[in-house]
């Protein structure tokens, strides 16, 4: 089984978000989505319209998503890959070239 992981806030869910999730899921058999918590978003200077719990429920209702986990820090990514046995990390184009994901 090939496991895929992506990250995001997913506050105002839109076509681009759905397209990312659809394309990520097509790369494997199981899609894990790490959704930024309210606390993590505040630390980044972001304020969401929907709470983490509401955003988690929205993501869980999408057929491409198999599991939603909380994203609580920038540093958790390597641990998420190990803990969830991830084969591929997928991010949107806005993260292209970012050192946070290049490794």
User: Domain residues for 76?
Assistant: 3-102
Question: How confident is the model over 78-96, as pLDDT tens digits?
Answer: 999 999 999 999 976 655 6
In a 3-state reduction of DSSP, which class is residue 1?
A: coil
**Residue 91 has what pLDDT?**
79
Q: What average pLDDT does the chain have?
A: 91
CATH no. for residue 27?
3.40.50.620
pLDDT at residue 102 is higher than 70:
no
Provide the domain count of the chain. 1
Full-model pTM: 0.90
Catalytic residue among 2, 22, 42, 44: 44
Is 44 in the active site? yes
Task: Give dist(CA 14, CA 56) in Å, integer.
Answer: 15
Catalytic residue among 22, 46, 85, 100: 46
Cα 59 to its chain centre, rounded Å, is 10
Question: How confident is the model over 23-44, as pLDDT tens digits?
Answer: 999 999 999 999 999 999 999 9
């Amino acid at each position: 089984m090939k496991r895929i992981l992506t990250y995001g806030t997913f506050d105002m869910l839109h076509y681009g978000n759905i397209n990312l999730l659809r394309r990520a899921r097509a790369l494997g058999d199981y899609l894990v989505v790490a959704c930024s918590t309210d606390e993590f978003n505040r630390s980044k200077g972001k304020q969401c319209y929907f709470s983490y719990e509401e955003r988690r429920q929205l993501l869980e209702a999408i057929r491409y998503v198999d599991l939603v986990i909380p994203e609580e820090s920038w540093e958790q990514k390597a641990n998420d890959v190990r803990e969830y046995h991830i084969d591929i990390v997928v991010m949107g184009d806005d993260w292209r070239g970012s050192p946070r994901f290049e490794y």
